[in-house]
Amino acid sequence: MKKEELKRIYRQQILERNKNPYHFEKREGATGHCLANNPICGDKFTLYLDFNHDNIRSAHFYGFGCALSKASTSILMEKIEGMPQKDVIAFCKMFLAAVRENQPIDPKDLSLETLAQMRDYQGRLDCITLSWETLLNHLLKKEMHTL
Amino acid sequence: MALYKNTMKSFSLSNIRERFPIFSQHPGLVYLDNAATTQRVDTMIEAMDTFYHKQNATVHRGVYELSATASQSFEACRTKVADFIGATSPGNIAFTKGTTESINIVASSFLRRKLRPGDNVVVSIMEHHANFIPWQMLCREVGAELRIIPISGNGDLDLGALEPLLDNRTRLVAITHISNLLGTFNPIEEVIALAHAKGVPVLIDAAQSGALYPMDVTQVDCDFLAFSGHKAFGPFGIGVLYTRQELKADIHPYTYGGGIVQNVMLDVTDFKPYPYNLDAGTPNIPGVIGLSAAIDFTRDLDRKACVEHVQGLSHLCRNELKRINGVKVLGEPLKTGGIVSFYIDDIHPHDVASFLDEDHIAVRAGVHCAQPLLDHLDVAATVRASFSIYNTKEEVEHLVHAVKELIKFWR
Ligand SMILES: Cc1ncc(COP(=O)(O)O)c(C=O)c1O
């Protein structure tokens, strides 16, 4: 990737999200939380999820991480609000496959597509996927317990 | 500047850079991740290549000529390492996979048999995980206490705090020579003197100092010393454990298998003595051959000139970065090696490293396997620039410029 390209993606998606992330606050009372932690780079976000039965009523996050992981988490939080849990699981799987295996993003979504472009950026895959992976595992585990 | 001892050749900085083939492959590369691994010197690569092309055979097994030659080269390297660090005999030198394994050997094969509930082990807060977790695990397993030497505000070891930590239940002090995060040089002679006054052996983690600041183990009087080939212009996967003569008999096999035995009976096995009792399985022979070539290279360097050069670069880097608004440089130790850790307000180290990478500057971003220290400093992650003999003043300026540009873009 060229520097100008990197700057373009940061300008389009990342910097603004990094400065004004969606629902960036602690919600200790939330019905579910999980910790997205990458011990190598020091990224650590808590995801706070409020469930209404099986729907995610609201999603918040708080912690420390790079602009990319923060932007990525911010987009994730915004997108999953109002979704049923099983849709969130499918959504996370779809995005992770898009990033890891170059699968198409469905439905077409500019913010997700720009984010996924960063997959070509060396060494930053974990920053993009950290919260998605954590949330997916959390929900899969939760699903198993309620079966 | 002439960085070689051999003034007849009068090699300068540019000559030194030419000795590292990576830079002809990547002419624009500004490699500032030397604390993670240095680049490889040409003679080391050639030595390993020659071994595989022309001399390949295993050691200590065959009676045929190739194997005998390989064994000779292998054992000659033990002597070379011993000379390099001032050990009295090659018998003090064991080959390992690296610093991490060397330290783990001392933990499992030496200390585990001695440590009792209520005993304690002393480390510093600035240890790399490799010199922290093995002791933490062992102490937890045994019910011993892990005691931690703190640092002062500027990042120097708080030597005054060490003495009260030592008592008649202290079984080992394990400390790094140079901090891989702050670059702090620790006063290991004083640490060793204090520990020895209480009869406590000392392990020195020389991962960061093995190349340019090799110590004379006999003079500093340490009990164990660990370092890695790959941080000293040598190969990956090879390292050294030095053990003082009097403690050799207390080091037991670390892994079991062929090559380390004297007599295998159905109910019991007799082992060779240290260091040969640590070579279970076929050893990393090309690694040892490569290490030998790397040591030859390092020995020919004018160490004083090299150290001055590297410290000059890190001082320049420190001072220039500190002058930039929004940049914080971690620690201001009295004496530092070629390592500078910093962060930029509001810009995560990973984002910094990504942008620097676009300018062909390779730095490390993250926790640097030093979480206890970062937690203590209340810093989540840093960018680390670390220098070696082939780096230049222009590269430092390039880094400083790139940092300024990034801040402009970000704000
Ligand atoms: C101070 C220190 N100790 C130990 C190590 C571990 O060395 P290795 O990974 O070669 O075993 C490192 C490497 O980063 C280090 O910097």
B interface mutation test: which of A1, A3, A19, A70 has the most B CBs within 10 A? Answer: A3
Residue B226 forms beta bridges with which residues? B205, B241
List of chain A residues whose C-beta atoms are within 8 Å of the C-beta of residue B350: 41, 43, 66, 68-69, 124, 127
Interface of A with B in 59-78 (CB under 8 A): 64-70
CA of B397 to the centre of ligand 1 (A): 28
A interface mutation test: which of B348, B352, B374, B375 has the most A CBs within 10 A? Answer: B348
Q: What is the mean pLDDT of residues A30-35?
A: 91
Number of domains in chain A: 1
User: How is residue B249 written in tokens?
Assistant: 């008999």
CA of B180 to the centre of ligand 1 (A): 8
| Residues of B marked as catalytic | 369
Nearest to B179 by CA among B123, B128, B105, B120: B128
Residue B202 forms beta bridges with which residues? B173
Chain B positions with Cβ closer than 8 Å to A? 347-351, 353-355, 357-359, 365-367, 371, 374, 380-381, 409-410
Cα distance between residue B385 and residue B363, in whole Å: 5
Nearest to B181 by CA among B373, B400, B389: B373
Is the minimum CB–CB distance between A3 and chain B shorter than 8 Å?
Answer: yes
Cα distance between residue A114 and residue A116, in whole Å: 5
Beta carbons of B392 and B13 less than 8 angstroms apart: yes
Helix (H, G, I), strand (E, B) or coil at A43: strand
Ligand 1 site, residue B156, Cβ cutoff 6 A? no
Ligand 1 site, residue B100, Cβ cutoff 6 A? yes
Residue B270 forms beta bridges with which residues? B263
Ligand 1 site, residue B368, Cβ cutoff 6 A? no
List of chain A residues whose C-beta atoms are within 8 Å of the C-beta of residue B355: 3, 6
Cα distance between residue B277 and residue B272, in whole Å: 5
User: How is residue B270 written in tokens?
Assistant: 């007799």
Report the b/e string of B207-220 with b at 16+ CB within 10 A: bbbbbbbbbebeeb
Q: Any idea what the CATH number is for the domain that residue A121 is in?
A: 3.90.1010.10
Helix (H, G, I), strand (E, B) or coil at B228: strand
Nearest to A67 by CA among A135, A122, A10, A111: A10
Number of neighbouring beta carbons within 10 Å of residue A104: 11
pLDDT at B63 (0 to 100): 78
pLDDT at A102 (0 to 100): 85
| Domain positions in chain B | 13-40+302-410, 47-299
Beta carbons of B407 and B326 less than 8 angstroms apart: yes
Residue B31 forms beta bridges with which residues? B362
User: How is residue B79 written in tokens?
Assistant: 């002597």
Q: Please tell me the residue having the least CA distance from ligand 1 atom 16.
A: B180
Helices first, then strands: H and E counts in chain A: 6, 3
Nearest to B379 by CA among B332, B330, B334: B330
- Select the residue of A41, A67, A124 nearest B367 (Cβ to Cβ): A41
Number of neighbouring beta carbons within 10 Å of residue B153: 8
User: Does the structure show a pLDDT above 90 at A58?
Assistant: yes
Cβ-proximal residues to B193 (8 Å cutoff; 6+ apart), any chain: none
**Mean pLDDT of successive 10-residue stretches along chain B, which has 411 residues:** 56 83 95 98 97 91 84 94 97 98 98 98 98 98 98 96 98 98 97 98 97 92 98 98 98 95 95 96 96 96 93 97 97 94 94 93 93 94 97 97 95 83
Weakest-pLDDT range from A13-27, A105-119, B71-85, B308-322:
A105-119
Instruction: For A43, name the nearest residue in chain B, comparing CA atoms only.
Output: B380
State residue B300 phi and psi, 5-degree precision.
-80, -10
Q: Please tell me the residue having the least CA distance from ligand 1 atom 7.
A: B99
Ligand 1 site, residue B130, Cβ cutoff 6 A? yes
Kindly report the nearest CA distance between residue B407 and chain A, in angstroms.
12
**Longest C-alpha distance within chain A, in Å?**
49
Q: Which CATH architecture has domain B13-40+302-410?
A: Alpha-Beta Complex (3.90)
- Select the residue of B347, B365, B409 nearest A41 (Cβ to Cβ): B365
List of chain A residues whose C-beta atoms are within 8 Å of the C-beta of residue B181: none
Kindly report the nearest CA distance between residue A83 and chain B, in angstroms.
31
Task: Give the atom of ligand 1 at the shortest distance from the alpha carbon of B101.
Answer: 11
Structural domain boundaries enclosing A115: 3-145
pLDDT at A116 (0 to 100): 83
pLDDT at B10 (0 to 100): 47
Cα distance between residue B186 and residue B206, in whole Å: 11
pLDDT at B31 (0 to 100): 98
Beta carbons of B103 and B110 less than 8 angstroms apart: no
Which ipTM value was assigned to this complex? 0.82
Helices first, then strands: H and E counts in chain B: 14, 15
Q: What are the strands, taking DSSP E only, across B251-407?
A: 261-264, 269-271, 327-329, 339-344, 361-362, 364-366, 382-386
Ligand 1 site, residue B176, Cβ cutoff 6 A? yes
Nearest to B254 by CA among B239, B236, B267, B265: B239
Report the b/e string of B86-116 with b at 16+ CB within 10 A: ebeebbbbbbbbbbbbbbbbbbbbbbeeebe
- CA angle at residue B162 from B161 to B164, to 5 degrees? 80
Is the minimum CB–CB distance between A88 and chain B shorter than 8 Å?
Answer: no
Is the minimum CB–CB distance between A97 and chain B shorter than 8 Å?
Answer: no
Q: Which CATH architecture has domain B47-299?
A: 3-Layer(aba) Sandwich (3.40)
Q: What is the mean pLDDT of residues A18-36?
A: 92
Instruction: For B410, name the nearest residue in chain A, comparing CA atoms only.
Output: A15
pLDDT at A123 (0 to 100): 77
pLDDT band at A118 (very low <50, low <70, confident <90, very high): confident
- Select the residue of B347, B357, B380 nearest A122 (Cβ to Cβ): B357
